[in-house]
């Protein structure tokens, strides 16, 4: 099979991160070519400010050296720019007249620094701060000249200014706004930051608009629109960037502020994708590392053919990389009429904390002087957790001991947001690889390897792991004793390699056992059915071919359960059941707590005849499926109208009957708050109220009784049915085999599940996939007239 030709235009962080993901997911699928305008290999542009500040060397910010490209069989052309894309012939043409064809093309041209369009901006001594060459030029200039101005009071400008101070220059920051970082900070935090930087020797000019750069052959000063002047030898323009969309625009690709893409990073032209700072997604253009890496990961999965919900946007957070200053900001930090905030201001210790709320959910955070709570607060904001009034003040109270905060941090909590590295991943790497330094952790896990903002947290976590206080041990849990692969790894390999049977999985993934075991074979059957809806195991086909959806009893006899949707039957159905029971001498007949009639102790030799004479659907009990829906019919504690609840139960059962799930799913529908169907202890429970329908999830009525958690309250039966069917499909797609709903809910979190289902677009996608799978399943049933 011929490898597809994949061309990446741009050798920057976002594009190459996408390539890293692709060669990890499917290393043999593509013949990869990368073009980069700069003469360097892929490096971390975000850490240029730390190079300028003297904390890092240029060599240390290299992400992938040439050996990496060669090892992955990637053709790299540095110092060569793609100048044209022939979208008809699917060919790219470079400034060196080279033509390369592609099957898939990724545009990752990034952004270009904004150079103020003012007289004198082309003079010697005026520079941007974007590339290694810019950094080297600034460092050389600092050896000869002593006065510098940085235009722009944003993150990049302040970090560059700190580097110039470290190089021995006098530095003035020129900012058009009233205070620093006016998008990321409120005025209180900005003034505290300004005071700290002034103590370090930085000077500031606010509400200044530069009119001209003056000087003869090189810069000698700045003139502002108010007539004032500043004498300088070096001007660093850090007033922002703009998406580099020229190539895309000339190629006929649809653009707005940047290249327009959908959730799978597809542009308006087939087989052409875009990722990174040059992209506009759902009206947003991102310039921070975390969202760009998230885009790259989503695009890699799509290109490799792995089903995924795609990229849905990011919650932004920023952290200043200046030694001695702790500053963190995320989300909406400025209050408006619909929001409120809680603040903590410690003037003595120079600590300021602010959390902004809307509808009891965190929408913004500012931390200055102590940022130890940043990960916890950001996680709560991303997951949209509800916070009560009593809990809000406690959010600003730091843990008394650093070690205890590390110990209480969940293993799943993200430490490095840019690269999505959790505490558990770092703990596992340290214990498995014997890591002892932050640099080793960075190389092994990539934590702190992008923006560098999480380095203090990684340092703190490493100290905890190495201390006597740490008793946490990470053990990789394989699917079973037949393989060392985890369940997730097995499923990923099944998708990548297109494996279509349990035996194929066992052979291709080098199982220790030739036939697998009782643990892995059912799991493989389940996952094959999820990946390929048309897949049915031999055992299932046998049952359905013989029309025998039956229960095998301990004594070798069988039990048949005529289908009664919602527990409702009819005189005609009851007469048929009675006649069949008499004809074949079925003596044991029971009405169970699940409101169904069971015909028990049926002999094998009359099964086919009984099924033919009944001529009605039988409830399927094979494997893990959605069980019969229980209702409160027959309960007479109150006189409430039960018809809406019965209608909802019948709708759900007709739709979901026999649907395969990771574990058995029990559903209860109660007409009122008397909860006649025991809905609160079902996997999914519905209770009618005066406001509509309360939907609960994660209950259990087994030995360890567990009450479900309230997922939603909806006004109509139709919306309740939609939420429940979306919930079941989300459970099917994201739960592990044999993982019960309450275990799944504990792992993902109620807020996460709620937000997923309240996303109208995602919910509709789940419902479409559910309908497609049900349609495929019905079309392959041998006895479709009995379903």
For 252, the token pair is 């006929």
pLDDT number for residue 399: 47
Other CB atoms closer than 10 Å to residue 473's CB: what's the count? Answer: 8
723, 695 in Cβ contact below 8 A? yes
pLDDT number for residue 401: 46
pLDDT number for residue 402: 44
pLDDT tens, position by position, 388-411: 665 666 677 654 444 456 787 777
pLDDT tens, position by position, 165-178: 999 999 999 999 99
Mapping DSSP to helix (H, G, I), strand (E, B) and coil, where does residue 307 land? coil
Q: In the chain, helix, strand, coil percent, each to 5? A: 35, 20, 40
First-to-last alpha carbon distance for the chain, in angstroms, is: 41
Q: Name the phi and psi angles at 68, rounded to 5.
A: -65, -45
Q: Is the dihedral of CA 333, 334, 340, 345 positive or negative?
A: positive
For 768, the token pair is 């479409």
Q: Give the number of residues written for the chain.
A: 787
Domain boundaries, the chain: 4-112+243-303, 126-239, 326-398, 400-470, 476-526, 550-614, 633-780
pLDDT number for residue 786: 38
72, 65 in Cβ contact below 8 A? no
Percent of the chain surpassing pLDDT 70: 93
CATH class name, domain 4-112+243-303: alpha beta
- Banded pLDDT at 607 (limits 50, 70, 90): confident
pLDDT number for residue 451: 73
pLDDT tens, position by position, 32-51: 999 999 999 999 998 898 89
pLDDT number for residue 389: 62
pLDDT at 544 over 70: no
CATH topology of domain 326-398: Enolase-like; domain 1 (3.30.390)
- pTM, 2 dp: 0.62
- Banded pLDDT at 373 (limits 50, 70, 90): confident
pLDDT number for residue 128: 95
772, 532 in Cβ contact below 8 A? no
- Banded pLDDT at 704 (limits 50, 70, 90): confident
Percent of the chain surpassing pLDDT 90: 51
pLDDT number for residue 636: 65
- Closest by CA position to 269, among listed 249, 252, 288: 252
In angstroms, the CA 472 to CA 406 distance is 11
In angstroms, the CA 690 to CA 644 distance is 13
- Closest by CA position to 715, among listed 688, 746, 753, 683: 688
Average pLDDT rounded to a whole number, residues 209-233: 95
pLDDT at 784 over 50: no
Which H or E run contains 355? strand 351-358
pLDDT number for residue 63: 92
Average pLDDT rounded to a whole number, residues 354-365: 92
pLDDT number for residue 204: 97
pLDDT tens, position by position, 429-440: 888 888 888 889
Give yes or no on whether 4-112+243-303 and 126-239 have one common fold: yes
In angstroms, the CA 306 to CA 496 distance is 7
For 266, the token pair is 């597809």
In angstroms, the CA 487 to CA 526 distance is 12
pLDDT tens, position by position, 253-296: 999 999 999 999 999 999 999 999 999 999 999 988 889 999 99
Mapping DSSP to helix (H, G, I), strand (E, B) and coil, where does residue 88 land? coil
Q: Name the phi and psi angles at 175, rounded to 5.
A: -135, 135
Q: In terms of CATH architecture, what is 126-239? A: 3-Layer(bba) Sandwich (3.50)
In angstroms, the CA 476 to CA 13 distance is 30
pLDDT number for residue 782: 44
Q: Has domain 633-780 been given CATH number 1.10.274.10? A: no
Average model confidence (pLDDT) for the chain?
A: 88
pLDDT at 543 over 50: no
* CATH code that applies to domain 400-470: 1.10.10.1100
Average pLDDT rounded to a whole number, residues 414-427: 81
pLDDT tens, position by position, 327-343: 999 999 999 999 999 99
Average pLDDT rounded to a whole number, residues 133-142: 95
What does the H/E/C string look like for 477-531?
A: CCCCCCCCCCHHHHHHHHHHHCCCCHHHHHHHCCCCCCCCCCCHHHHHHHHHHHH
> Residues with Cβ < 8 Å from 544, sequence gap 6 or more?
536, 781, 782, 783
Poorest-pLDDT segment among 148-152, 276-280, 539-543: 539-543
Q: Name the phi and psi angles at 352, rounded to 5.
A: -140, 130
- Banded pLDDT at 637 (limits 50, 70, 90): low
In angstroms, the CA 597 to CA 588 distance is 10
Most confident stretch, 11-20, 550-559, 670-679: 11-20
Widest CA span in the chain: 111
In angstroms, the CA 446 to CA 339 distance is 36
98, 56 in Cβ contact below 8 A? no
pLDDT tens, position by position, 459-517: 888 888 888 778 887 767 789 999 999 888 999 899 889 999 999 999 999 999 988 99
In angstroms, the CA 767 to CA 775 distance is 12
657, 626 in Cβ contact below 8 A? yes
pLDDT number for residue 621: 60
In angstroms, the CA 14 to CA 621 distance is 49
- Closest by CA position to 235, among listed 137, 111, 132, 321: 137
pLDDT number for residue 787: 40
pLDDT number for residue 292: 92
pLDDT at 452 over 50: yes
pLDDT tens, position by position, 750-779: 877 888 898 888 899 999 999 988 887 766
Q: How far is CA 185 from CA 153, 360, 659, in A?
A: 12, 21, 51
């Amino acid at each position: 099979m011929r490898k597809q030709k994949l061309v990446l235009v741009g050798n920057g962080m976002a594009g190459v991160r996408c390539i890293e993901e692709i060669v990890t997911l499917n290393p043999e699928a593509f013949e990869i070519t990368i073009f980069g305008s700069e003469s360097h290999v892929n490096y971390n542009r975000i850490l240029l400010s730390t190079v300028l500040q003297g904390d890092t060397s240029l060599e240390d910010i290299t992400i992938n050296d040439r050996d990496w490209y060669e090892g992955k069989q990637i053709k790299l052309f540095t110092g060569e720019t793609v100048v044209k894309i022939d979208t008809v012939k699917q060919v790219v043409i470079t400034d060196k007249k080279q033509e390369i064809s592609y099957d898939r093309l990724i545009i990752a041209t990034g952004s270009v620094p904004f150079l103020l369009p003012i007289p004198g901006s082309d003079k010697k001594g005026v520079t941007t701060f974007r590339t290694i060459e810019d950094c080297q030029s600034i460092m050389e200039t600092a050896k000869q000249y002593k006065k510098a101005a940085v235009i722009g009071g944003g993150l990049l400008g302040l970090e560059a200014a700190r580097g110039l101070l470290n190089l021995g220059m006098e530095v003035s920051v020129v900012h058009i706004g009233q205070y620093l970082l006016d998008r990321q900070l409120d005025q209180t935090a900005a003034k505290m930051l300004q005071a700290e930087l002034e103590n370090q020797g930085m000077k500031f000019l606010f509400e200044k608009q530069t009119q001209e750069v003056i000087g003869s052959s090189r810069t000698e000063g700045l003139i502002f629109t108010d007539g004032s002047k500043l004498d300088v030898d070096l001007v660093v323009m850090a007033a922002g960037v703009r998406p580099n969309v020229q190539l895309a625009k000339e190629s006929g690709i649809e653009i707005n502020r940047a290249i327009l893409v959908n959730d799978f990073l597809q542009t308006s032209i087939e087989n052409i994708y875009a990722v990174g700072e040059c992209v506009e997604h759902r009206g947003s253009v991102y310039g921070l590392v975390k969202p760009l890496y998230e885009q790259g990961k989503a695009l890699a999965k799509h290109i490799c053919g792995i089903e995924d919900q795609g990229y849905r946007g990011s919650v932004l957070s920023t952290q200043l990389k200046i030694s001695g200053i702790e500053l963190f900001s995320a989300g909406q930090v400025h209050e408006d009429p619909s929001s409120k905030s809680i603040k903590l201001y410690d003037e003595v210790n120079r600590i300021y904390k602010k959390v902004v709320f809307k509808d009891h959910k965190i929408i913004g955070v500012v931390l200055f002087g102590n940022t130890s709570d940043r990960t916890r607060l950001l996680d709560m904001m991303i997951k949209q957790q509800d916070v009560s009034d009593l809990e809000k003040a406690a959010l600003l109270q730091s843990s008394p001991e650093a070690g205890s905060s590390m110990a209480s941090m969940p293993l799943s909590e993200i430490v490095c947001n840019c690269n999505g590295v959790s505490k558990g991943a770092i703990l596992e790497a340290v214990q498995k690889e014997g890591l002892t330094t932050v640099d080793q952790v960075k190389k092994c896990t990539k934590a702190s390897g992008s923006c560098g903002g999480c380095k203090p947290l990684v340092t703190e976590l490493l100290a905890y792991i190495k201390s006597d206080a740490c008793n946490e041990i990470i053990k990789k849990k394989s699917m079973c004793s037949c393989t060392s692969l985890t369940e997730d790894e097995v499923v990923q390999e099944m998708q990548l390699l297109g494996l279509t049977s349990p035996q194929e999985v066992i052979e291709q993934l080098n199982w220790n056992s030739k036939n697998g075991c009782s643990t892995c074979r059912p799991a493989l059957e389940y996952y094959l059915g999820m990946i390929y809806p048309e897949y049915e195991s031999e055992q299932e086909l046998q049952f359905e071919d013989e029309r025998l959806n039956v229960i095998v009893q301990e004594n070798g006899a069988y039990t048949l359960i005529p289908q009664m949707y919602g527990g409702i039957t009819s005189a005609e159905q009851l007469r048929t059941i009675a006649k069949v029971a008499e004809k074949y001498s079925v003596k044991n007949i029971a009405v169970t707590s699940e409101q169904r009639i069971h015909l028990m102790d049926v002999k094998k030799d009359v099964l086919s005849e009984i099924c033919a004479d009944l001529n009605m659907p039988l409830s399927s009990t094979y494997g893990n499926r959605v069980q019969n829906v229980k209702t409160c019919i027959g309960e007479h504690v109150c006189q409430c109208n039960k018809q809406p609840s019965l209608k909802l139960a019948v709708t759900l059962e007709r739709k979901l009957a026999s649907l395969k799930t990771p574990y058995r799913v029990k559903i209860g529908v109660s007409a009122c708050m008397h909860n006649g169907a025991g809905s609160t202890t079902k996997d999914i429970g519905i209770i009618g109220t005066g406001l509509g329908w309360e939907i609960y999830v994660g209950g259990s009525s087994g030995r360890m009784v567990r009450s479900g958690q309230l997922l939603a309250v909806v006004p109509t039966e139709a919306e309740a049915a939609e939420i429940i069917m979306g919930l079941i499909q989300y459970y099917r797609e994201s739960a592990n085999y044999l993982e019960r709903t309450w275990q799944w809910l504990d792992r993902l979190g109620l807020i996460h599940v709620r937000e997923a289902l309240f996303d109208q677009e995602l919910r509709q996608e789940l419902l479409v996939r559910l309908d497609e799978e049900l349609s495929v399943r019905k079309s392959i049933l041998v006895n479709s007239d009995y379903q």
